[in-house]
Amino acid sequence: MPPMTWRLLITDPADGTWNMALDEAIARLAGRKEVPPTLRFYQWRPPTVSLGRHQPVADIDQAALAARGWGLVRRPTGGRAILHTDELTYSVGGPADDPILNGPVLDVYHRISQGLLLGLQRLGLEAVKAPGSARAHDPSAACFEVPSAYEISVHGRKIIGSAQRRTATHVLQHGSLPLRGDVTRIVEVMTFEQEVQRQAFRNHLAARATTLEAELGRHVSFWEAATVLVDGLNTALGVDFEEGELTPAELSLARQLQQEIYGNEAWTRRQ
């Protein structure tokens, strides 16, 4: 039986509202079988904090965010806040009945995580997956504090955080791989009652999260990271990835979703 073929997209850096709108547009249209199941790699410009779907906006200090020129967006998926900068972001969007994406949420997480894990191991990382029983109990406002089920860590520090949304027709999973920089920067825009709590949490987060550069002792480019992840996912999923382009329908739907949802203050700032 020949391997399945998925589309591979590598898109230009964009702001948070466009990135989230495009992720959802691809997944929706893939769910309608109007476009193939798709793996996308992308970056963020300007640096942007993304909130989980149900996370209180009060977790983030709006004045501190504006002072740094960072964006704010609410994801369609769950989880906690992430600062997207100096990273590779991946997304997988496809129909809910696709053989790779079909089944319980944790089964799909497991399949995709195995491919991400193989990719990181090709770089020489001693990366491991959290067990399926892992849960982020009493999580803080920051996503990278604790690995959840099948998320990936190196020497006890989380290196890929992922989130998934499943509907009757489609699945969207996306996640963040920090390439370099200070993984505690998000603490600068989080809300704390006292400044001593900010520093304590900065130290806590530094012990629990990491970057590719910190672990490998060398710079890893966006393109190098994308290449090894494609290779790992190809091996783990048995999928061939063919580079493609966005369709006019995807661009049109993404613009609509950007205007009506992800660029809408009522969505971003809802409690």
Give catalytic status of residue 143 as yes or no. yes
Catalytic residue from among 108, 118, 143, 179: 143
Q: How far apart are the first and last CA of the chain?
A: 49
Contact 111, 70 (CB under 8 A): no
Q: Is the dihedral angle over the CA atoms 61, 66, 67, 71 positive or is it negative?
A: positive
Locate tokens 């972001």: which residue? 89
- Exposure string of 27-63, with b = 16+ CB inside 10 Å and e = fewer, is bbbbbeeebbbbbbbbbbeebbbbbbeebebebbeee
26 CB-contact burial (10 Å; exposed 0-12 / middle 13-18 / buried 19+): buried
Catalytic center residues: 143
